[in-house]
Amino acid sequence: MAFQGATIVAAPNEFKVPFPSYLQISKVQFQKEFGSRLLAASSWDGTLRIFDIGKVGEITEKMLFHNGKSLLTCTFAGYNKIACGGVDHNVKLVDIETGMGTLIGSHALAVRCSEYNPQTNNVVTGGWDSAVKIWDTRSYGNGAASQTSVSSSVYAMDVHNNQILVGTKQRKIYLFDIRNLQEPLQVRESPLKYQTRCVQFFPNGEAFVVSSIEGRVAVEYVDQSNDQVKRKYAFKCHREKEADGTELIYPVHTIAFHPKHGTFATGGSDGIVNIWDPFNRKRIIQLHKFETTISSLSFNEDGTQLAIASSYQFEHENDPKPLPSNSITIRHITDPESRPK
């Protein structure tokens, strides 16, 4: 019997959200409005749920919207609306109070990603049809405010101020200005050699992080000038060393930035959540292993809570039997756990 370092953790800092365990979660997102306690979760059974997350673990379901077909993405769009999209190609805007959804438009294929730009009140969506579309949440009904296409299916997207970051199937990274979609600001090859899973901007918008299915994360700078380019780097993560010396590699599905510290959390198929300090290039903390693949992460507006969606994505050649339970856990994150050293 091996002695393990029985490490110590403070009193319960983790709470589970009452979520049906057999449902697969595609995305979780905290509302970023100041003082908000809302968490949205979109699921493969076509439901969009919003929860009210209390500070001491009391969690209640506040809204339930049925889209019908599976939802792949959701994003809060202002203080009282939430956008969602999925395999039925539709982009819907749902009122949080009433739970009523309105179809504001659609893509030609499934809507894969959605993000919100509060400055311009725009929801940006990307789909498997290679299109990136912008929707105005205040006036809709006439289709997308603007749209463009990228090299291939959109697999990842993030929005920061007026910049849109898109990761595509062909491992290209696009940078757009939201005000002019026709002309991408930049198009570059992904720094990673394998399929892109997630892209996220730093809170200051000067750099971004890309993750792939090959257990690797890269940090790149928006500014392409020489000295900035030198600063970029990549590192391996979410890998397990096996007894025979080989490395078992897991995809990194999700990245979430701490809104204040500029540190970020990654979640992978290994069920592990790591929090990284990109400035010192170190890992700050690794959370305990969750039951299955981490499909989505989201920090709340002040960085004190991290929503962790653990949901098997059917990404493995051999599905585990029995299928793991899916869950959303709220982990309270303290300052030392998220601050750069």
Partner 1 sequence: MSDFDVAFKFLLENPTMEVFIGFATQVEMMASRIPSDEMKSNILKVFTSILSDRKFHEIRVNEEVLRIYNLLAGCSQRLGATGVYEQIEKKGYFEKSLKFHLQWAEQYGKANNLEKFKHVLDLARDRLKSTMANNKIEAGFRDLADSYFKDDVDYLFLDPDNTMAIFDSRYIGKPKNRRRSSINMLRRGCPVVDPTKKNFFGPKTKSLLRSEFLDGENGFGTSPEEFRFALLNDVAGDEMDIEMDEETHIVPNNKTADFSIVKNENRRRQLSIVDEERNTSDEADSEKKSRIYSPIVATKDAIRVPLRNASFLNEKPPTTITLSSDTKLSAFDNESFGEIEKDNNEKLREMESGRKERTSSESEKSTRSQKSNVGLDILAENNCLEAHAAFSDTVHIGKERTMMHEEHTMMEDLKSLASTQNVTTDFSVYCDPDPTFVVHSNAVNSEDVPRGLNMRYDEQSPEHQEVLKPKPVVEVGAMDDASYNTPPSTKTTEKYWDDSLIVGFTPGNVITSTPAAHIPFVNVEDYFGNTQNIEKPQEERPQFVIPDATGILQNRLNRRKSTAPAKQVEVETKPTPFDESLSEQLGRRLSLGPEEMANKLVEAAPVEVEETGRKDRRRSEVIRQENNPWDENLRARIMRVVPTPTNMHEFETISPKILAMKSFEAGGETYDIRTLLGQGGYAKVYKAITEEKKMVAVKYEIPSCAWEVYICDQMRTRLLARNDLTTQIIANQCIMQVTDAYIFSNASLLVNEYHEFGSLLDNINNSKDPNWHISCFLLVQLAKILEQVHECGIVHGDIKPDNFMITRKIDMGWEADKLMGTDVFVVKLIDWGRAIDMSRLKEREFKGRAGTEGFDCPEMIDGRGWTYQPDFFGYAATMTVLISGTYSKVVGSELGDYSLDVDIKRRNKLRDPAMEIVKDYLNIPSCSQLPKWSTAIDSFTNVWRENFDISAWRQAAAKFNEACEKSKK
Smaller CB distance to partner 1: residue 32 or 130?
Answer: 130
Residue 10 interacting with partner 1 (CB under 8 A): yes
By CB under 8 A, name the one of 17, 164, 272, 328 that touches partner 1. Answer: 272
Place of tokens 């929503």: 307
Position 211 contacts partner 1 (CB under 8 A): no
Of residues 36 and 147, the one with the C-beta less far from partner 1: 147
Number of residues this chain uses to bind partner 1 (CB under 8 A): 124
**Looking at beta carbons only, is 32 or 212 nearer to partner 1?**
212
Contact with partner 1 (CB under 8 A) among 29, 31, 42, 90:
90
Q: How far apart are CA 93 and CA 114, in angstroms?
A: 11
Q: Does 225 bind partner 1 (CB under 8 A)?
A: no
**Cα separation values, 318 from 260, 268, 315, Å:** 40, 17, 9
Task: Please report how close the Cβ of residue 85 comes to partner 1 at its closest, in angstroms.
Answer: 11
Binding status of residue 269 toward partner 1 by CB under 8 A = yes
Which residue lies nearer to partner 1 by CB, 32 or 168? 168
- Among positions 292-311, residues that touch partner 1 (CB under 8 A) are none
DSSP secondary structure, 164-201, as one string: EEEEETTSEEEEEETTBTTS-SEEEE-SSSS-EEEEEE
Shortest reach from residue 127's CB to partner 1, in Å: 9
Residues 111-170 that bind partner 1 (CB under 8 A): 112, 128-131, 143-144, 147-149, 151-153, 155, 169-170
The residues, ordered by sequence, that sit 6+ positions from 7 with a Cβ below 8 Å of its Cβ are none
Cα dihedral: 216, 202, 42, 156 (round 10): -50
Backbone angles phi, psi at 40, to 5 degrees: -105, 150
Give the DSSP letter of residue 102.
E
What residues numbered 41-80 form the site for partner 1, per CB under 8 A?
A: 44-47, 64, 66-70, 72
Interacting residues of 245 by C-beta distance below 8 A, sequence separation 6+: none
Q: Does the protein bind partner 1 through residue 337 (CB under 8 A)? A: yes
Structure tokens at 165: 């970051």
